[in-house]
Every structure is written in structure tokens, then in C-alpha cells.
Amino acid sequence: MRIALIQQSNTDDIQANLDKSLAGIRRAAEQGARLVILQELHTGPYFCQTEDTGIFDLAEPIPGPTTQTLSELAAELGVVIVGSLFERRAAGLYHNTAVVLDSDGRLVGRYRKMHIPDDPGYYEKFYFTPGDLGFHPVDTSVGRLGVLVCWDQWFPEAARLMALAGAELLIYPTAIGWDPDDNAEEQARQREAWITVQRAHAVANGVPVAACNRVGFEADPSGVGAGSRFWGSSFVCGPQGEFLDQASTDEEACLLVDVDLARGEAVRRIWPFLRDRRIDAYEDLLKRYRDD
């Protein structure tokens, strides 16, 4: 199956950002993609660099205008689309939500980001309520997709639970970048850690992984921070962690990758990690920390 990851830079122009995503989807479909993945919060800038109540005006319901636009395009092109939206569930209740539109245009699934960061330049707890839909893959015309979002990608538990529910492909819409004030060595360590932990999810679960990140510099609207230079590097790896393709750190891209979902079963036959899990001895995983 050919999949596409649309890595793009964003501005404050919401319509222009969406138009860029839609154009990327069309290019991908023209080149044979059956599944197209968009980056985290693809319709706008990464607004979590600062805390501003006016930003809540950008949130929208699901279903809503953007899901309708994506739905119509999915049906027109016959592709599955994974989008990422700022969901308005109710006044004062918002989520960072990924949506899945099937190739006939139906909204077949949504995932609300479960792990919410609160770090310098990533003040997401101010905006997003932690997800409450759990870790459930979405069945589509191209397979069962385990869709997670950005910060979720650091947690092996999230990947494992998706795999245990039958996910054939793990997908991570992402917005992550460098603090321009960090030195080159620290920046390199952070990017490599991001790549490594996701490749490990592929290995530990015997499934391919697709991570779609944004690219380009976005200033801190408050002027307090140094802004964020998103490191792109969108990639797809196979079920043994092998790179299938990767985008650059500094350019927009429509990354097209052919993925063999059937390889997962072949890999699991030689590395039967699910068989050998000691589920009778993992109760301490439900603790925050072991103090004994």
C-alpha cells in the first residue's frame, strides 16, 4: 500500500494552511497514495507556545467544517485521510483530536490525544483536555489504523495497547521542533531520541510506524520565548524498525512510501513478543512509580 505524509510549514492564515494540505493530498493521490497523513494541527500555527484564551476561537466541532472538507476530498479521490484538529467539544472543553476519513468520505474514527505535555514552548495543558476515548484502532478500507498524536509517541504503553487491539500501522501526526537557543549537540540528541523511540515501537510491536511532523520556524507570539524550529524529518519505518523513507529537516515534502502490511505477521513469527509477554507479572505498570 502506498501511503503519503504531508510535511508542511504553517502560518497564521488558516485557509492558506488548509489549502496547502488539500493540495498535498491531491498530489499524493495522483501518485497512487491510498492513505494520506497530515501533521498535527495542520490548519494553523502551533499556538501552544503561549497561553491565550483568544485561541479557543480557532477550535471547531467534529463533525464540522474541516472534517466536511476532508470528507468530500476523500470521497472524490478515493483515499483515506488522517487529519488533526483543535476540537471544540463544549465551551471550556477542548481536545487535540485526530480524525480518520475513509475512502468513501465517511468519518469513521477519531482519537483524542491522551498524553498532554506542559513544557516551555509546549503549553498544551492550557488548551487541551486529556483524551477519553482510549486506545482503539480505526477500521478503514486500507486496514486497521492505530492513530495517536505527537506526545503519545514517547509512551510505549500507547503503542502497545494499539497493537494489542489489532492495529496494523501506527500513525503519529506530530508538531515537534528545536528550541533555537539549544546548541547543535542538544538539538541532535533530541531529534535522534524522537526517531529512536518510534522505531522501537515498530520493533516491539511488529508493525510499521508513520510519523508526520511539521517543518519551518514559528515565532512565539508573546515574544517571551525564542520560538520553535520544527525539525520535519517525517518518516516511515517497517516492523523491524527499518527506515523506508524520511523527509528532510527543513523542507516541505509529500513523502510517498510503499508499505507492506503483511510483513508484520512474518516478523511476529520470528520475534513473538506478544506470545512471551508476562501479563501475570505486570501489575506494577498501573502504579505511577514504585517507591519500594
Task: Quick: pLDDT tens for 166-214.
Answer: 999 999 999 999 999 999 999 999 999 999 999 999 999 999 999 999 9
Question: What's the mean pLDDT in 6-26?
Answer: 98
Task: Quick: pLDDT tens for 110-144.
Answer: 999 999 999 999 999 999 999 999 999 999 999 99
In a domain, 121, yes or no: yes
Residue 292 is predicted with a pLDDT of 83
Residue 244 is predicted with a pLDDT of 98
CATH code where residue 261 lies:
3.60.110.10
Strands (E) across the chain are located at 2-7, 35-38, 80-90, 93-101, 107-112, 118-119, 122-123, 138-140, 143-147, 169-174, 177-178, 209-213, 215-218, 228-231, 235-237, 243-246, 253-258
Residue 21 is predicted with a pLDDT of 98
Please check whether residue 228 is in contact with residue 185, taking contact to mean a CB–CB distance below 8 angstroms: no
Catalytic residue among 20, 48, 113, 218: 113
Q: What is the mean pLDDT of the chain?
A: 97
Q: How many domains does the chain have?
A: 1
Domain around 53: 2-277
In a domain, 287, yes or no: no
Task: Quick: pLDDT tens for 69-121.
Answer: 999 999 999 999 999 999 999 999 999 999 999 999 999 999 999 999 999 99
Cα within 13 Å of Cα(54), Cβ side = 3
Catalytic residue list contains 218: no
Task: Quick: pLDDT tens for 23-52.
Answer: 999 999 999 999 999 999 999 999 999 999
Catalytic residue among 20, 48, 150, 212: 150
In a domain, 285, yes or no: no
Residue 110 is predicted with a pLDDT of 98
Question: What's the mean pLDDT in 154-170?
Answer: 98
Confidence of residue 240 (pLDDT cuts 50, 70, 90): very high
In a domain, 288, yes or no: no
Catalytic residue list contains 212: no
Residue 191 is predicted with a pLDDT of 98
Catalytic residue list contains 113: yes
Residue 80 is predicted with a pLDDT of 98
In a domain, 19, yes or no: yes
